[in-house]
Amino acid sequence: MKDLIETRIIGAVRGLLAGRVNEILQEMESAVPVIEFGDYCGAGSIVPVIELASCERTEKERIIRLDAYSLTVRFSLPENPDGELYCYAYSGAFSRAIYDDPSLGGFTDRAVITGKKYIAPPMKHCGDGWSLEISLRITVEEMNK
């Protein structure tokens, strides 16, 4: 039963990224590579990594049967003069999408962004680009067995 919940959380975040976040990115004035999932890796798209780090419960959450998951979405951008701008665009679009739908399509009770980390390349023209890490806390009411 637990793996199903974790799989559904990752699927809900993936759906949000490929759906609403891409819609917001396409409405922007500057051209930002769209988010895609799968084996495709072209210049016009990016494939973020979604990591479900942990499931934790405080005593209160255990009593009210609420699971809290920590999840990280990581965008690693190829070296590009607009890499920093893209990080801000992805961050803003993702924040707006979470604000508009904090229940991730009705599956979760609430998804909250707990942190954002913008990581600059160590030096220019070294082959590394900008990256962005967005941390989320997602709460899900435990289903009866």
Domain boundary assignment for the chain = 2-141
Q: What is the pLDDT of residue 30?
A: 82
pLDDT, averaged in runs of 10, over the chain (145 residues): 76 93 91 82 80 77 77 90 92 96 89 95 76 94 60
Q: What is the pLDDT of residue 17?
A: 94
Q: H-type helices in 72-119, by residue range?
A: 83-100
This prediction's pTM: 0.86
Show Cβ contacts of residue 32 under 8 Å, excluding neighbours closer than 6 positions: 25, 85, 86, 89, 90
CATH class held by domain 2-141: alpha beta
